[in-house]
């Protein structure tokens, strides 16, 4: 199969939502339809032995939430689909925001009862800012929820999207009887545990008179109120198709998947520091959007996730690591199916490749066939929570140190070492990350830690004008107890309040204070 054909048959997308909207369950059902798994897992309870495929970390199975983006790939009707299932919980939003730099489109999952929730609004805002095409999937139709038209209004109002329904429910909750697939002009009806696909004109013979009258009224209203679907308008992010269904009951998921492979974008061009790079270019380029230590705790492997942007990525071929200015080659690049991996010889634009890493990679690094370009815009966030980390088992100091360093490289948190006494401080975007770090240190590295609260408002990276050295010397003397070094030995000011930060900025005008280390 030729190079351009391989590009055109790829679809790389992320699934995003507020926690508990059914995002991971939808991922499971998509895999089921793709023949990638034989049995879909349950996310909800740790009493259920079969866990969700995309929640492969032990803590995810126990808590019933996703705490890290997982990468899954499967084939469906000749199309190679790469799914990035992201965490919904706001404490892990940093991972989700980074993942959105590696996708060409997204599916937003909304709970029929809860409607649009806070985290969904934030994530959709990022997608709109990046002009990522969005499909909306309204989930859990088998439960009592909001009226379908009310939900469409809410999506338009809260998310400021221009919706275009491509499927519509027949009944809701207890009355839920089926879905009209507008895109394919077919009706799927629920008959006991069976799904029966019929022509639109046969509906009246299969449902009650009341439901049929409601169905006819709804179709008229849909035609009057909402725009006709236009693929180009969707790809330009001007309209957003909406599907209804119940992922748990396999209802409406295949409609979504069939439409998705027809309309979703193929791998897209990406802006670099010097030019826009197109997928069909001969030369390979790609970037690291995620690092994960201990994908397999038995082997202590650390993987850097690379999104291939252009050209072919070939096994055992030397590529330029732009930040380090050195050539690296990889003997066992991996393709993913949750925690299962297989070695691949060639990967194409749109694919996600896992590279075994001994510490060469940081999030945001670029790999190329030789061109000196950088992919920018991988976000890094200033921590909002700060705690001292203490060693709870002095016999395991080495394991603790190694574990902390590797987990910090993943970008789950940031490590600061105080200048005054050398104490270690961990800064995170969300408080739940402390629990994840503690759990993973113990179960993956055999090290135990405890935390102590620390009164810090914000971490600011310090940039100074060395011509005005006296001012810098005074700043270091006066603020000594608030100064620390980050993992890369950069100077950081840990301000204890808004007032203290503002006063410091005012007092030392030659010193710049940045919210992230990438200034």
Residues contacting residue 445 through CB under 8 Å, at least 6 positions apart: 396, 399, 400, 402, 403, 406
List, as one string, the DSSP characters of 53-105. SS--SHHHHHHTS--S-EEEEEEETTEEEEEEEPP-SGGGHHHHHHHTTS-SE
CA nearest 303: which of 94, 70, 64, 60? 70
pLDDT for the residue 168: 94
In 419-482 the beta strands, taken as DSSP E runs, fall at 424-428, 449-453, 458-464
For residue 179, give the 3-state DSSP assignment: strand
Which phi and psi angles does 404 have, rounded to 5°? -60, -45
pLDDT for the residue 90: 54
- Rounded Cα distance between 141 and 169, Å, is 8
pLDDT for the residue 121: 87
- Expressed in angstroms, the distance from the first to the final Cα of the chain is 44
In 100-237 the beta strands, taken as DSSP E runs, fall at 105-111, 134-139, 163-165, 167-170, 178-181, 186-191, 194-198
- Rounded Cα distance between 254 and 231, Å, is 19
pLDDT for the residue 306: 93
Residues contacting residue 293 through CB under 8 Å, at least 6 positions apart: 300, 302, 406, 407, 409, 410, 444
Please classify residue 435 by burial: count the beta carbons closer than 10 Å to its beta carbon, then call 0-12 exposed, 13-18 middle and 19+ buried.
Answer: middle
CATH classification for the domain delimited by 270-368, as one of 3.20.20.140, 3.30.2130.30, 2.40.30.10, 1.20.1600.10: 2.40.30.10
Positive or negative torsion for Cα 61, 64, 65, 70: positive
Residues contacting residue 219 through CB under 8 Å, at least 6 positions apart: 168, 180
User: Maximum Cα–Cα distance for the chain, whole Å?
Assistant: 87
pLDDT for the residue 337: 65
pLDDT for the residue 40: 41
353, HSE (Cβ side, Cα atoms, 13 Å) = 28
Alpha carbon dihedral 107, 112, 116, 118, in 10-degree steps, equals: -90
CATH number of 3-173+227-263: 3.40.50.300
The CA distances from residue 424 to 233, 387, 412, in Å, are: 51, 9, 16
- Rounded Cα distance between 36 and 28, Å, is 9
- Rounded Cα distance between 68 and 84, Å, is 10
**pLDDT tens series, the chain, 519 aa:** 589 999 999 999 998 887 787 888 888 888 887 765 544 443 433 333 344 444 444 544 444 434 345 778 888 999 999 988 776 445 445 667 778 889 999 999 999 999 998 878 888 888 888 899 999 999 998 888 899 999 999 999 999 999 999 999 998 878 888 899 999 889 888 877 778 888 888 888 888 888 889 989 999 999 999 999 999 999 999 999 999 998 888 889 999 999 999 999 999 999 999 999 999 999 999 999 888 766 555 555 678 889 999 999 999 999 999 999 999 999 999 887 645 678 889 999 999 998 988 878 888 899 999 999 999 776 666 788 899 999 998 899 999 998 888 788 777 788 999 998 999 999 887 787 788 888 888 888 899 999 999 999 989 999 887 656 788 889 999 999 999 999 888 899 999 999 999 999 999 988 999 887 765
Which phi and psi angles does 204 have, rounded to 5°? -60, -25
Q: What's the length of the chain?
A: 519
Q: Does domain 385-514 have CATH number 3.30.70.3280?
A: yes
Q: Report yes or no: 269 and 278 within 8 Å, Cβ to Cβ.
A: yes
Token pair belonging to 292: 């994960």
Which string of b and e fits 344-369 if b means at least 16 CB within 10 Å? beebbbbbbbbbebeeebbbbbbbbb
Angle at 233 between CA 229 and CA 235, to 5 degrees: 110
> What's the DSSP call for residue 267?
S
Alpha carbon dihedral 393, 395, 400, 402, in 10-degree steps, equals: 180
For residue 141, give the 3-state DSSP assignment: coil
The CA distances from residue 336 to 73, 268, 297, in Å, are: 6, 21, 16
Token pair belonging to 185: 């002009």
- Rounded Cα distance between 352 and 347, Å, is 8
Domain boundaries, the chain: 3-173+227-263, 270-368, 385-514
- Rounded Cα distance between 11 and 13, Å, is 6
> Structure pTM?
0.78
pLDDT for the residue 43: 40
pLDDT for the residue 51: 45
Q: Report yes or no: 350 and 11 within 8 Å, Cβ to Cβ.
A: yes
């Amino acid at each position: 199969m030729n190079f351009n054909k391989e590009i055109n048959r790829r679809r790389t997308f992320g699934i995003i939502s507020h926690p508990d909207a059914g995002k991971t369950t939808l991922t499971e059902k998509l895999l089921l339809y793709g023949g990638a798994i034989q049995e879909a897992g349950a996310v909800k309870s740790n009493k259920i032995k079969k866990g969700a495929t995309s929640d492969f970390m032990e803590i995810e199975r126990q808590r019933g939430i996703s705490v890290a983006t997982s990468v899954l790939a499967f084939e469906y009707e000749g199309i190679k689909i790469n799914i990035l299932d992201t965490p919904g919980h706001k404490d892990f939003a940093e991972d989700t925001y980074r993942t959105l730099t590696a996708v060409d489109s997204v599916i937003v999952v909304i709970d029929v009862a809860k409607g649009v929730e806070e985290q969904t609004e934030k994530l959709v805002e990022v997608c709109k800012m990046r002009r990522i095409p969005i499909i909306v999937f309204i989930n859990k139709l088998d439960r009592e929820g909001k009226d379908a038209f009310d939900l469409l209004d809410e999506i338009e109002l809260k998310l400021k999207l221009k919706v275009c329904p491509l499927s519509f429910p027949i009944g809701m909750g207890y009355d839920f009887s089926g879905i009209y697939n507008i895109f394919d002009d077919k009706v799927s009806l629920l008959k006991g545990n069976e799904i029966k696909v019929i022509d639109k004109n046969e509906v009246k013979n299969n449902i009650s008179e009341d439901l049929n009258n409601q169905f006819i009224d709804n179709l008229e209203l849909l035609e009057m109120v909402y725009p006709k679907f236009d693929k180009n308008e969707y790809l330009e992010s001007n309209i957003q198709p909406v599907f209804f269904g119940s992922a748990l009951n396999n209802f409406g998921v295949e409609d979504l998947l069939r439409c998705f492979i027809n309309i979703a974008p193929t791998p897209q061009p990406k802006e670099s520091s010097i030019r826009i790079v197109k997928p069909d270019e001969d030369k390979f380029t790609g970037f690291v959007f995620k690092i994960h230590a201990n994908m397999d705790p038995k082997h202590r492997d650390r993987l850097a996730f690379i999104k291939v942007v252009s050209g072919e990525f070939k096994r055992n071929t030397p590529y330029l690591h732009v930040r380090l200015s050195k050539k690296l080659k990889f003997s066992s690049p991996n393709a993913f199916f949750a925690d299962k991996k297989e070695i691949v010889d060639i990967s194409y634009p749109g694919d996600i490749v896992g590279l075994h890493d001994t510490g060469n990679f940081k999030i945001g690094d670029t790999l190329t066939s030789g061109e000196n370009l950088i992919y920018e815009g991988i976000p890094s966030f200033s921590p909002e929570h700060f705690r001292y980390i203490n060693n709870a088992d002095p016999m395991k100091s080495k394991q603790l140190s190694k574990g902390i360093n590797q987990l910090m490289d993943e970008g789950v948190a940031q490590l600061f070492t105080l200048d005054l006494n050398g104490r270690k401080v961990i800064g995170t975007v969300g408080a739940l990350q402390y629990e994840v770090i503690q759990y993973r240190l113990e179960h993956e590295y055999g090290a135990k830690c405890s935390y102590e609260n620390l009164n810090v408002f914000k971490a600011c990276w310090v940039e100074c004008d060395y011509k005005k050295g006296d001012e810098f010397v005074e700043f270091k003397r006066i603020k000594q107890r608030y100064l620390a070094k980050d993992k890369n030995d950069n100077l950081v000011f840990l301000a204890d309040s808004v007032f203290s930060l503002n006063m410091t900025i005012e007092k030392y005008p030659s010193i710049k204070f940045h919210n992230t280390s990438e200034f």
